[in-house]
Chains A and B, each alone.
Chain A
Amino acid sequence: MSLLSSFKSLRLEGVSRDFGVVNALRDLTLEIKRGEFIALLGPSGCGKSTALNCIAGLLPTTRGQIMLDDKRIDTLPTEDRGFGMVFQNYALFPHMTVRANVGFGLKMRGVSKAEAAPRVEQAIRTVRLDTQAHKLPGHLSGGQQQRVAIARAIAIDPPLVLMDEPLSNLDAKLRLEMRQEIRRIHQSLGCITIYVTHDQDEALSLADRIVVLRDGTIRQVGAPEDLYARPAHLDVAEFMGFRTRIAGRVQAKDGNRVQLAVSGTTLDGVVQEALTGDAAIAAIRPDDLVPVAPDAHGIDGVVEAIEYRGRDFFGQARTKGGDELFFRSEQRLAPGASVRLGAEPHRVLVYPGA
C-alpha cells in the first residue's frame, strides 16, 4: 500500500482506557518513527496488551488520539487501519491453508489473485516456509505456526506490525531463533514494529527503544543500553534484573555519589532517582555482586543456596539484618558458609526508600 512509502511516524497522544480497573491505560504519549522497533515491556496486567489492542482497534480508547502522520486513526474500525498483527496464540485461521492464511489480508483488500499470489509467495519465502505452504495450520509445529502468523502480518505491507508476546508459547531454543528472525524481517521491511513482551531479554535484544509500563503508565522510555544500565525507578530496576535490594540510610553525599549505612557496614552507590529523605534503597544485579576477600570492604551474609549456571555459580545469601543478596561466584560455596560480598560503586544504584 502507498501508506508505507509516505508515512513518517506514529504518534500516541494521551491515549487512555478507563474501563475495568485492571488493564487500564493512562495518558500514553509516544512518538515512533518509521523503521523503529519498539518494545512495550512490563509485568502482566501493566497495560501493555491493552495499549497494543487500542492501537489495533480491538479495544476502544476512552481518551486521546492515535495519529499516523496527520491522519487520525483511532476513530477507524480495526479492519480499516491496515496494520499487521501477530497474536499471542497466533490466531491462525484453522480452516485455511498457510497460503490462504497469508493471503487473507490481501483478499480482504480486494487485491486481484494475480497480483496477490507473488506477494503471498514472497511473504512465505521471507519466513522460510516455502515447503509448507499447502498445509493447514494444525499440521505445523509451534515455530512454523509462528512463522505463518508473521507472514500473514507482513504480506499486506503494513506501515505498522503489532506483535503480542509472539514467542511466549515457544520453547527456549526456538525462541532465540525466532528472535533473530523477527529482527531480520523487521529490518528488511522498514516499517514500525511494536512488540509487547514481559521478557526483558527479548526486549533488550530486539528493540531500538523500550517502553516500560507499569499500572498503565509509562515508567521509562529509552534505548536498551540505557534501561539496562540506568533504570530510572526502583520498580524498573527490579524488572530489569536488579535482584538485590538493600534498604539503608544516607550517610554521606557528594553530588551523585552517596554512601549508605546498611547492615552494620557501608555501601557506596550512584543516585538514580532524586532522594527525598535519608531513607534509600540500593539495587544491585547478581552479576555485579561478587565474593571479596575477608579483609576487603563488603556486606557479610550466610549462603543459603547456590546453583550452577554454566560459566559460574549463582548464589543466594542473607545478611544478619534479613536482606536477601543475589550474587555471582566463581567457586561453589557451601550453603551455610559465611561470605563477604562487594560491588563496584557505579554498579550500585540508589533509589529513594520508603
Chain B
Amino acid sequence: MADAIPLRARLAAKGLDGVTLLVLPAAALLLALFLYPFGYGLWLSFRPKDGSLLGNYARFFSDPFLYDTIFTTLALAVPVTIVNLLFAVPVAFRVRLMRHQRLLTTILVLPITLGTVLVAEGMLNYFGPQGWFTRALVSTGLFNASSIKLVHNYWGVFLSLLITGFPFTFLLTLSYVTGIDPGLEQAAATLGARAAERFRHVFLPLLVPGLAITFCLSFVQAYSVFPSAVLLGAPAGPTRVISIAAYQAAFEEYDYSLASAIAMIMGAVQLVVVVAVLALRNLFYRGPAAGAKG
C-alpha cells in the first residue's frame, strides 16, 4: 500500500499535469495545419498526373524551364544575403555604441512591417525611368537616362531584397552584437589589441555562430522571394524564381502534385544550404558570448 503511488502523482513527477495539457490545442493546430500538410504534400508529390512515382521530380529536373528556377533563385538569394550580411556587421558595430538606437531601428523596421508588396510598388515609382532615383543619377551628368534600367529585371528584385532584407539581417545581427559583453572588448584593449585586432580575435569568433544563424534566416527569406520577383522583375525569364514555378503549377495549371513536388524541392534546397552553413558554424567556438555567467 505504501508503495502504491497514484498515477496522477507519478505523471506529475514527470511534468505531466493539468498545466501541461495547455500545450495541446496549439500542438494540435500545428499538427493539422503544418505537419500534416507537409506530409501530405510530400505524399502528393509522388503521385503525379502520369501515374509514375517520380514523374514530377523527373519532369522538374529534365525541364530547364523548371530546374533553372533553382539557379535563378540562388543567383539572387546568395549574393543578396552576403551583401546584406557584409553591410550589417559594420553598421551593427557602430550602432551598438549609439545611445538612442531606437530612431534608427524604428526606421529600419518600416520596410519589414510594410512588406514586400508595398516596397515593390514604391520601388516601381522611385527606381522607375521617371523616378527620383533615376532622375538624381541623370542629373549628376554621369549617366544616360536610357542606360539606367533598375526595374523589371534582375536588379529590381535584387534591390527589393536588399531593401526589405537588410533591415532584417541588420536587426538580427544587432541583437547578437549587443549580446557580447563589452567588458571583453575592454579586456582585449587593456591587453594591447587595436580595434581591428579586437574585432578579428575577440568579436568575430564570438559572433560567428550568430552570424551563421542570421545568414540562414536571411537566406531563407531571400530564397522564397515571391511578390517582388513578379512585380519588380521579369517573371517570365531572368527572375523566374522557384516560388513562381510552384505557384504557377498550383494555381495556373492546377497540378497540385507538381506544385507540391516543387515546394518540396524548394524546401530541400533551403535545408541543404542551412545545414551546410550550420555545419561550418560547428567548426567555431559555440558558447556564451558574455564571459562567465554573472
Contacts and interface: CB of A to CB of B under 8 A. Distances in A.
A75 interface: no
* B interface SS class: helix
B2 A60 contact: no
Nearest to B8: A60
B276 interface: no
A254 B13 CA distance: 53
B142 interface: no
9 contacts: A18-B5, A19-B9, A19-B13, A20-B13, A60-B9, A60-B12, A62-B5, A62-B9, A63-B2
Contacts of A20: 13
Contacts of B13: 19-20
Contacts, number: 9
A63 B5 CA distance: 9
Nearest to A19: B13
Contacts of A62: 5, 9
Interface string B1-40: 0100100010011000000000000000000000000000
B16 to A, nearest CB: 13
Contacts of B12: 60
Contacts of B2: 63
Interface of A: 18-20, 60, 62-63
Contacts of B5: 18, 62
B57 to A, nearest CB: 51
B45 to A, nearest CB: 47
Interface residues of B, number: 5
A117 to B, nearest CB: 35
Nearest to B13: A19
A240 to B, nearest CB: 33
Nearest to A59: B12
Contacts of A19: 9, 13
A7 B89 CA distance: 69
B156 to A, nearest CB: 51
Nearest to A16: B2
A18 B12 CA distance: 13
Nearest to B5: A62
Q: 7 tightest A-B contacts by CB?
A: A19-B13, A60-B9, A63-B2, A62-B5, A20-B13, A18-B5, A62-B9
A63 B13 CA distance: 15
A62 B5 CA distance: 7
Nearest to A20: B13
B202 to A, nearest CB: 35
Nearest to A18: B5
A173 B13 CA distance: 40
A261 to B, nearest CB: 47
A59 B99 CA distance: 47
Given A19-B13, A60-B12, 7 more contacts: A18-B5, A19-B9, A20-B13, A60-B9, A62-B5, A62-B9, A63-B2
B12 to A, nearest CB: 7
Interface in B192-231: none
A124 B5 CA distance: 43
Contacts of A18: 5
Contacts of A63: 2
A111 to B, nearest CB: 29
Nearest to A60: B9
A19 B3 CA distance: 12
Contacts of A60: 9, 12
A326 to B, nearest CB: 31
Nearest to B12: A60
B14 to A, nearest CB: 9
Nearest to A62: B5
Nearest to B14: A19
A62 B9 CA distance: 8
A20 B13 CA distance: 8
A150 to B, nearest CB: 30
A26 B69 CA distance: 69
Interface in B68-98: none
Nearest to B10: A19
A62 B2 CA distance: 8
A18 B2 CA distance: 11
A20 B2 CA distance: 17
A19 B9 CA distance: 9
B132 to A, nearest CB: 50
A224 B255 CA distance: 84
B190 to A, nearest CB: 31
B2 to A, nearest CB: 6
B127 to A, nearest CB: 51
A16 to B, nearest CB: 9
A62 B12 CA distance: 12
Contacts of B9: 19, 60, 62
B3 to A, nearest CB: 9
A62 B1 CA distance: 11
B64 to A, nearest CB: 62
A18 B5 CA distance: 9
Nearest to B9: A60
A298 B5 CA distance: 57
A27 B2 CA distance: 12
A21 to B, nearest CB: 11
Interface in B30-56: none
B195 to A, nearest CB: 40
A238 to B, nearest CB: 30
A19 B13 CA distance: 7
A19 B12 CA distance: 10
A63 B12 CA distance: 16
A60 B6 CA distance: 11
A57 to B, nearest CB: 14
Interface string B161-179: 0000000000000000000
A56 to B, nearest CB: 17
A167 to B, nearest CB: 23
